[in-house]
Chains A and B, each alone.
Chain A
Amino acid sequence: MTGSNRAALGLRDALVVVAMTLLALTTTAPFLWMIATALKSPDQPILDPAHVLPRPVHWDNFGRAWTEAGLGRAFANSLFTSAAITALTLLTSSLAAFAFARLHWRGRDTVFLVYLGTLMVPTAVTLIPLFLVMRELRWINSYQALVLPASFSPYGVFLLRQFFLTIPAEIEEAARLDGCGPLDLYRRIVTPLARPGLATLAIFTFLGSWTSFLWPLIVTHRQELFTLPVALASFQELHSIQWPLLMAGSVLLTLPMIAAFLLGQRHFIHGIQMGSVKG
């Protein structure tokens, strides 16, 4: 490569970085706006572009949001619920996805199509029947009602199946020749190789349940069981909204999601090539 080529490349890279920085500004602006609004005093105009910055800065909004609306308890509820749903989903989905992707049995594709089919079921359809089931089980206002219906999603099965399918058949053949049974195959070969997939599913499931709103709203009506989004909704007054506290709560809602993403991201960067393919 000649020097001028390298210079052109450098210039192009610089332009790309500038463009990407501009893009990053667009995507982060709302979060900054949320923080700015969260720090405003209640009577400062919120929607007025002339008053974007908080003046004076009300750090106590976060404290008020935490205590007044019981966000502390709600935060813990959300954390527990989301973690439980994520753990259960990873476990049951990976087992089922293994059966769909790496085992051979009659009727496999038909059963999978049924799974796939239910992915398409709009939430509105199952809402009432599910609610009636919860009522019959006397699970209204319980952690089971928050966790269990969300823990067997066909989505996870579908996602992991796709990841499991990308694992080269030769590795599996070799393992089988070495006398590995399906369980060993699952534990020692497929799940370790599919760690990026598992991490991805973990992030999605965690984020999904962390922001889940409609279902928790319907199955809980005791404050002690409210998840964060439901508790946040209590800020949304009947006729006028307390924007700063709502935004303070929204910031609290967002932080763990960023944490979850950062954590999961490390996993899929160190994915397949760092794992047992080399080892």
Chain B
Amino acid sequence: MTAGHSRSKRGDFGAALLFLLPNALGFSFFTLFPVAAAVALSLFDWNLFTEPRFVGLANFADLLGFRNTPEGWAPNDPRFWKFTGNTLFLMLGIPVNVAASLGLALLLRRGGRLQVTFRTLYFLPSICTGIGIYVMWQWLLNPDSGALNKILAVVGIAGPGWLKSYEWAKPGLMLMGLWSAAGGTNMVLYLAGLQNVPSELEEAAALDGAGAWGRFRHVVWPCLQPTTFFILTMGLIHGFQGGFDAAYVMTRGGPDGSTTTISYYIFQHAFRWFHMGYAAAIAVVLLGVIFVATALNWRWGSRE
């Protein structure tokens, strides 16, 4: 136990190395190296079987470039831009989901018997994954026989075509996302974060005459900053690469590509059409976008 004494404020380097080593080794081998390999792959034209052909930045030019056509300038790959738009559109659901999770967590934070039961019941959707649930949502969102439109009809609203219509497919998926995410991991994270809010502070604020909103605004919310930062960061990251499962199982990316996200597009190029290089190039671009977005968020999150 003597090492601790000689350690200066900056001198944790040796210890840090040891602590980091087990994870860093596995991480380098199973994450960092494959990423580097993927970046290298984006410079090649490769169908998995014939020899990879070095093409430089041609994949990126095909992906991001524009060309002059008789009708004016047009993107080389209009699908990429359309699917990027889809991905961003679906990400509009993130703040709604996070707000819902926070609301539920606030309602359920006391941890009474009843509330623990509710927590479990609300958590259910997030773990009922897989094909079974997707089938159920397709049934729910069926324009004619689906439960949702039947309920809407009772209120006198003619329900939309949901997954079968170009305009409503994305809102349909966002609804499903809200259902499955609100009581899920984000709520659990907020519940854990709420444990860290010092009750003395809240009581003091209450004594000072702060209402429920005031206590939330000035005591609870600041204490939840790290949690919110984490949730938003993960939300951004997942949002940019999200939408694969639903597209794969429920809509095949349609109708007319309205539910195809970037990750599904990468999958299509890599595992349906076997353009490994081009798929890697999309992934690298996606990586860059996510990196910039997260870096901005990180700067904002570590400001205080």
Contacts and interface: CB of A to CB of B under 8 A. Distances in A.
B286 A122 contact: yes
A247 to B, nearest CB: 6
A258 to B, nearest CB: 7
Contacts of B35: 118, 121, 125-126, 129
A105 B10 contact: yes
B23 A152 contact: yes
Contacts of B286: 122
A162 interface: yes
A174 B46 CA distance: 58
B116 interface: yes
A140 to B, nearest CB: 15
Contacts, number: 252
B107 interface: yes
B121 interface: yes
Interface residues of A, number: 99
A68 B259 CA distance: 36
A180 B227 contact: no
Contacts of A176: 4
A162 B229 contact: yes
B20 interface: yes
Nearest to A24: B121
B91 interface: no
Interface string A135-166: 00000000000001101111101110011011
Contacts of A268: 188, 191-192, 195
B57 interface: no
Contact of A186 (B19, B27, B287): B19
Nearest to B270: A124
Contacts of B204: none
B147 A149 contact: no
Interface string A79-117: 000000000000111011011000111101001011111
B37 interface: yes
A69 interface: no
Interface residues of B, number: 93
Instruction: Find the residue from B4, B5, B11 having the highest chain A CB count within 10 A.
Output: B4
Contacts of B48: 128
B139 interface: yes
A120 B287 contact: yes
A53 interface: no
B15 to A, nearest CB: 4
Interface in B148-192: 150, 179, 183, 185, 188-189, 191-192
Instruction: Find the residue from B5, B142, B237 having the highest chain A CB count within 10 A.
Output: B237
A18 interface: no
A236 B131 contact: yes
A157 B294 CA distance: 16
Contacts of A132: 37
Nearest to B150: A49
A229 B130 contact: yes
Nearest to B279: A124
B276 interface: yes
A171 interface: no
B31 A30 contact: no
A207 B298 CA distance: 27
Contact of A122 (B7, B30, B41, B287): B287
A122 B118 contact: no
A256 B294 CA distance: 34
Interface stretch (A55-63, A195-203, A219-227): A195-203
B192 A200 contact: yes
19 contacts: A24-B122, A48-B145, A95-B19, A103-B16, A104-B10, A118-B31, A118-B35, A124-B270, A129-B41, A157-B23, A158-B233, A162-B230, A176-B4, A182-B19, A184-B1, A207-B127, A211-B129, A261-B123, A261-B127
Interface of A: 16-17, 20, 23-24, 26-28, 30-31, 33-34, 37, 47-49, 91-93, 95-96, 98-99, 103-106, 108, 111, 113-130, 132-133, 148-149, 151-155, 157-159, 162-163, 165-166, 176, 179-184, 186, 196-197, 200, 203-204, 207, 211, 213, 229, 232-233, 236, 243, 246-247, 250, 253-254, 257-258, 261-262, 265, 268-269, 271-273
